[in-house]
Structure 1
Amino acid sequence: MSQNLSTVHTPELLAEVAALPALPGVYRYFDAEGGVLYVGKARNLKKRVTSYFQKNHGGTRIGHMVSKIARMETTVVRSEAEALLLENNLIKALNPKYNILFRDDKSYPYLKLTGTSTAQAEGPPAQVFPRIAYYRGAVEKKHRYFGPYPSAWAVKDTILLLQKVFKLRTCEDTVFNNRTRPCLLYQIKRCSAPCVGHVSAEQYALDTANAERFLQGQAQDILTELEKKMLAHADKLEFEQAAELRNQMAALSKVLHQQSMEIGGDKDVDILAVKVQGGKACVNLAMVRGGRHLGDRAYFPTHVENATDAATLDLEIEEAGTGEGTPARPQPGGKSLEALVLEAFIAQHYIDVPVPPTLVCSEPVDKALIDALAAQAGSRVTALHQPHEQRRIWLEMAQKNAGLQLARLLAEQGSQQARTRALAEALDLSLDNLDALRIECFDISHTAGESTQASCVVFHGHKMVNSEYRRYNIEGITPGDDYAAMRQVLTRRYTRLAEAARNGDARLPDLVLVDGGKGQVSMAREVFSELGLDLGLIAGVEKGEGRKVGLEELVFADGRDKAYLGRDSAALMLIAQIRDEAHRFAITGMRAKRAKVRVGGSKLEDIPGIGPKRRASLLQRFGGIRGIASASAEDIAMVDGISKDLAEEIYRALH
């Protein structure tokens, strides 16, 4: 164990880690308050868990989590597949802070066909003539269920189709048993009125069986059989019966045409697409059941950012190889965050929902996960990553919908609050009143040392507060010395503010960001030390490798390790937003000042007696500062409000 970690964790915990067996299992980490931090699975418990306590994880989220571990529980299982299923059952039950978690707050709706397929014609009327209905809840064996469907709309639309084609009843049994004449649905040809004997039990049973086959994707077979029966009735000159079958065929054909999708051999397929952006993720699940595309449903996981480092560490251990030195995964680069989110969804979602034979996925999925699902379902399951033809069209549609749903989420008001919370959690800031969290950010701007300006922008109440922005003209320094400029602006900003804060008349910011790395942070540390302010308030935003956006790291003045928040981190997204606004504000101020200096505007304003009105009159008359400089003192004196003596003063100042 490293000396650093051994001082954080108790000897009992470290001894428990050292005594773990080299067997597959599931481990749980708890903090001092008993809260669940992380649930993970391992092919080799000893190797996996030990890696958390042996390595120095620096200022990453995983390091933050490891420092909080106070207690651990493990469960040994027989195989990695069992470990995977147990892991995701525990994730759904325990809601750990550092796992990707999908909440399924609603059960799926089903289409219910009452009675069993072996119902006898001699039974009660309600059982002889089954009804179709929308259903959500526990499944009962005495009825038949089709689904699940992604939405209530999809179920109700399917019921409407079955009414139009097969004319099955939808009324409650109490209504059915007490009818004396047909209802409106019979009049509009959406029910065959079994309640008053307008259809025989045999014919209704045939329509019910065809409806079941339609739901199972056998629509073309039904059309072929109906066509044969229609021709047989026509040969026997039974034109009324032939016309009824013709109308049913026409309705069924219209339904199939309206689907406007060539399904090929697919009957039951789930299409899964994932999109990650700004620390948020969306998994879009589209369902094909019985050959019909039933629509889609969006899922938004929690704890995406916290789970990234832990999952990455787990992958590194797996890729390092098994105990025999065999590589555990072929891909050396690990998995993308999108793949991690998608695998978490698949593992958690299909615990309670039947898995279809085919999954079409936007990201490659671990074969061990699919094998575990197949073993649990007792049937073969295939996952496709790069589909062709119709499956590719379905996947592209799901990907587009995932992007749209995620964009909608990020556009909502709560997304900015989520970014604030993510930043507060990442930097251990107070979470008691996020609305009051105040961040000030500083940037220096100049062109080759000319017209140096510093900007201070303010983030408060989950938004940038333009009215509190400030610019500072930096003077008395060596041109181009950004460190001296930063020292000057921080001193000017916080000298009086620190004194007012000590007297209870002002409030210091919760975080002070400076655009720069160690050098700028060291200047800020000197200023804050001189003023007696908390060094923990300071963080520098250092450019990442190659100065690429998304690779920035945070440098702290109080000696903490650098922190990398992650390319798709909501916390980094907020920091980048504040930093970019400080840069924009500094650039615009510097350019305005530079332009004013270069055209001589400052000389005009420095002349005693020249205020805004007289300056405006002069510029309007001569078209600019160059025009004023070209004019004689007599010409200048002809401007309203300019006396002869003042005109001569202006002439001397400009020459």
Structure 2
Amino acid sequence: MSHTALEIQLKTLPNLPGVYQYFDVNGKILYVGKAKNLKKRVTSYFTKNHDYGKTKVLVKKIADIKHIVVETETDALLLENNLIKKHQPRYNVMLKDDKSYPWICIKKERFPRVFSTRRVIKDGSEYFGPYTSMKTVSTLLDLIRGLFMLRTCNYDLSQDKIEAGKYKVCLEYHLGNCKGPCEGYETEESYHGNIESIREILKGNFKSSLSHFKTQMKTLAEDMQFEEAQKIKEKIDVLENYQAKSTVVNPKISNVDVFTIVSDESYGYVNFLQLSYGSIIRSHTLEIKKKLQESDKELLELAITEIRQRFHSKSKEIYVPFKVELGENIKVTIPKLGDKKHILELSLRNAKYFRLEQLKQVKIVDPDRHTNRIMAQMKADLRLTEEPRHIECFDNSNIQGTNPVAACVVFKNGKPSKKDYRHFNIKTVEGPDDFASMEEVVFRRYKRMLGEKQSLPQLIIIDGGKGQLSSALKSLEALDLRGKIAIIGIAKRLEELFYPDDPIPLYLDKKSETLKIIQQLRNEAHRFGIEHHRNRRSKSALNTELETIPGIGEKTIVELLKVFKSAKRIANLKLDELEDVVGKSRAEKIYKYYHNQ
């Protein structure tokens, strides 16, 4: 489609809520979006300057636009969600719905069975769920079977078949787990009373069952049936214990969905808690892969629509951390304090915990994805124009002003690349002058890299504050590299990052992964620098009289110093003491040297 045809399409878009779809020249769907006002939203793609590269690329590829006008914003949300899932366009966030969740079914039959299933059949049976884990389902079913006597057989218990004596009671009856409706030992009415109680428990309401059992217990105790009363008391204990575990919040908060989000550069994690009668009856976290730097608001709106659809939620109210547009049928609450705020924080904790777990797993299973995410995060955190795939960090080690040395450590893809580490002995600077040393080292490093046509880093980190940074900058300027490589200085406490020409330092979150990597770089540069410095000092210490003894090499000297610590002590040793360490012939050479002087 020609450019003018696109312009005509843009002009004829309505000022109404709806969903738009972008297609490329081959008719392949690129992107699905929703809008309160189709004309405004779609036009903005073509008139705005997009900072984010992927959005630019998307706009270039658009050859055709289709739109669907809808009645309300809610309809737009649902339609957008369904189209994304159906077509999974390249530039939309990833919404995976490939899981079949377990449900608890109360079967539509004369004496209903209660069981778990992953298949929902529309035959009039009732389904509770879906549950996010089979463990929850098993716990609930164990609880129900412990409280109520239900049948587990799949006989057709119609009245005429029971009256005709078609069935005989099984072992479950003799074990006391079933009252034997198959032989007419239990009425339909009594059985349905149990089913009603189970229905309430599955909705999260334990009140009516508890009061029913308490009444039963009293009656039995008054009739002197203490053994039966004890059995009922045990059931009350089980129920109260289960309720205590599941009640987290205020019992007045009922039929509410809670949503929170945490995100990084590449993924969003949305946690959903469902509350019923003050209990959390469901918790689920959805992971969403970002494509176009979507905001938390966009991700949350999409996720809420998706999760409510997936879990068949009919709640009329939701709690969220910030304002979201979800149409007219849902009350949106942003809790500020009290129990509501507490439940929101609980949801956020769940989202954060889930994210950490995912990251640990990804690190093991998919190291590339882990690296890509960290690189994208560092680029954003440090305000860089490209991902810092290759980072170099410089550290000066001037210990008591002797043997000034410097270290350069290299990280590639967030990990140490030890073969690329370099040591520098300071040549041009007399005495301990940190700034001049830094200038010399940075100049030597990059002059050499340019000369050898090696690929340059995307980021240089200077261990030191503003002074060190400006020294390094002088060298970059001299090599015409200023502005071509990002460079930052880190102050001693590490919380502050200094940028060229910016008097205000950047402070990173203490828990951020970016800070962790910078810390690792700095510590590594420190360790590497000090190790080299130590080697140089011990080498210069070897430059003692010992080295002047004919026929005695460095190895022997090191062995002796390890044992006797100083040249002075070695000079005063007896021959046999020397022999024990270095053998006869070498011992004689050393002994003669000192005693013939």
Aligned counterpart in structure 2 of residue 619 of structure 1, from 537, 540, 561? 561
Q: Indicate if the aligned counterparts of 2:378 and 2:388 stay in contact, CA closer than 8 A.
A: no
* Residue 472 (structure 1) aligned to one of 407, 423, 435: 423
Q: Give the equivalent residue in structure 1 for 2:242.
A: 258
Q: Distance in 2 between matches of 1:641 and 1:526?
A: 58
* 1:169-568 matched pairs, under 5 angstroms: 169-173=151-155, 180-225=167-212, 247-248=231-232, 251-252=235-236, 254-260=238-244, 261-262=246-247, 264-276=251-263, 279-289=266-276, 292-303=279-290, 306-308=291-293, 310-311=294-295, 337=296, 341-357=299-315, 361=319, 363-366=321-324, 368-369=325-326, 371-372=327-328, 374=329, 381-386=331-336, 388-389=338-339, 394-412=343-361, 413-414=364-365, 416-422=367-373, 440-446=390-396, 451-459=404-412, 464-466=416-418, 468-473=419-424, 475-476=426-427, 480=435, 482=438, 485-492=441-448, 513-515=459-461, 540=486, 542=488
Question: Quick one: which amino acid aligns to residue 417 of structure 1?
Answer: D
**What are the superposed Cα offsets for residues 153-211 of structure 1, whole Å, 9 maximum, x if unpaired?**
22232222222222122333379989854334334433222223331233223322333
| Structural RMSD (CA) | 5.2
Match of 2:149 among 167, 191, 212: 167
1:135 to 101, 117, 122: 117
Kept in 2: contact 1:514–1:521 (CA 8 A): no
Is residue 108–residue 148 contact of structure 1 (8 Å, CA) maintained in 2?
A: yes
SS at match of 1:149: coil
Give yes or no for contact 2:396–2:406 (8 Å, CA) kept in 1: yes
Task: List per-residue Cα deviations over 1:191-234 (Å, max 9, x = no partner).
Answer: 22222333123322332233334434554334445666777789
Pairwise CA distance, 1:131: 0.9
Alignment of 1:52-131 (within 5 A): 52-58=45-51, 60-61=52-53, 64-66=56-58, 68-75=60-67, 76-115=69-108, 127-131=109-113
**Alpha-carbon distance in structure 2 between the residues aligned to 1:289 and 1:491:** 68
Relative to 1, partners in 2 of residues 1:287 and 1:426: Cα closer, same or farther, differing over 3 Å? closer
Aligned residue for 1:212, secondary structure, equals helix
**SS at structure 2 position matched to 1:190:** coil
Deviation string 1:23-53 (CA, Å, 9 cap, x unpaired) is 4333344566766554333333343344444
Q: Kindly provide the amino acid, as one letter, of the partner of residue 200 in structure 1.
A: T
Once the two structures are TM-superposed, the CA of residue 573 in structure 1 deviates from its matched residue by 4.9
Cα distance in 2 for partners of 1:637, 1:157 equals: 81
Q: Report if aligned partners of 1:451, 1:590 keep a CA contact under 8 Å in 2.
A: no
How far apart in 2 are the matches of 1:634 and 1:492? Answer: 46
- C-alpha distance in 1, partners of 2:588/2:8? 89
TM-score in terms of structure 2 length: 0.71
**Cα deviation per residue 1:223-269 (whole Å; 9 max; x = unaligned)?**
4456667777898x7x77x9868855752453133321555234434
Q: 1:421, CA displacement in angstroms? A: 3.7
Distance 2:87 2:522 in 1: 43
**Contact 1:362/1:395 (8 A) holds in 2:** yes
Q: Is the contact between residue 440 and residue 509 of structure 1 (CA under 8 Å) also seen in structure 2?
A: no
The 1:197/1:396 distance shift into structure 2, 3 A limit, reads: farther
Q: Which amino acid aligns with 1:108?
A: Y
Distance 2:26 2:540 in 1: 63
| Contact 1:25-1:80 at 8 Å conserved across structures | yes
Tell me the SS of whatever aligns to 2:288.
coil
**Corresponding position: 1:588 with 2:527:** yes
State the shift of 1:456 in Å: 4.1
CA–CA distance in structure 1, aligned partners of residues 3 and 588 of structure 2: 83
CA separation in 2, counterparts of 1:50 and 1:608? 84
Contact 1:101 1:301 in 2 (8 A): yes
Contact in 2 for aligned 1:454/1:489 (Cα 8 Å)? no
CA deviation after TM superposition for structure 1 residue 283, in Å: 3.0
Q: Name the count of aligned residue pairs.
A: 542
TM-score by length of 1: 0.66
- 2:505 aligned partner: none
Measure, in 2, the Cα distance between the counterparts of 1:618 and 1:234.
Answer: 91
Secondary structure, counterpart of 2:289 in structure 1: coil
Helix, strand or coil: the match of 1:351?
helix
Residue 40 (str. 1) matches residue 33 (str. 2): yes
SS of 1:589's equivalent? helix
C-alpha distance after superposition, 1:130-163 (max 9, x if no partner): 1112122334142122233232222232222222
Alpha-carbon offset, residue 632 of structure 1 = 10
1:146 aligns with 2:128: yes
Are the equivalent residues in 2 in contact too, given 1:455–1:582 (CA < 8 A)?
Answer: no
Q: Is the 8 Å Cα contact of residues 255 and 277 (structure 2) preserved in structure 1?
A: yes
Higher relative contact order (CA 8 A, sep 6+): 1
Bigger Cα displacement from structure 2, 154-163 vs 271-280: 271-280
Contact 2:564 2:570 in 1 (8 A): no
For residue 446 of structure 1, what is the amino acid of its counterpart?
Answer: N
**Deviation per residue, 1:283-315 (Å, 9 max, x gap):** 333334566544533322222xx443x43xxxx
Residues 641 and 253 of structure 1: CA distance in aligned 2, closer, same or farther (over 3 Å): same
* Letter matched to residue 457 of structure 1: V
SS in 1 for 2:309: coil
Output the CA distance in 1 between the equivalents of 2:355 and 2:588. 61
Tell me how far 1:418 sits from its aligned partner.
0.9
Q: Distance in 2 between matches of 1:218 and 1:494?
A: 73
Q: What SS class does the counterpart of residue 444 from structure 1 fall into? A: strand
C-alpha change, 1:518 and 1:477, in structure 2 (3 Å) is: same
Q: Which amino acid aligns with 1:140?
A: K
Larger mean CA deviation between 22-31 and 411-420 belongs to 22-31
2:111 and 2:157 in contact (8 A); partners too = no
- Please give the alpha-carbon distance, in whole angstroms, between the structure 2 residues aligned to 1:172 and 1:518: 82
**Matched residue type, 2:302:** A
Q: Secondary structure at the match of 1:27?
A: strand
Question: What one-letter code is carried by the residue in structure 1 that aligns with 2:306?
Answer: Q
The one-letter code sitting in structure 2 at the alignment partner of 1:586 is A
Letter in 2 for 1:132: V
CA distance in structure 2 between the aligned counterparts of 1:97 and 1:519, rounded to whole angstroms = 46
Cα 1:526–1:185, aligned 2, differ >3 Å: closer, same or farther?
farther
Structure 2 gaps, min length 5? 380-386, 463-468, 501-507, 579-586
Secondary structure of 1:173's aligned partner: coil
Q: Structure 1: how far apart are the matches of 2:27 and 2:556?
A: 73
The alignment-based identity, stated in percent, is 23
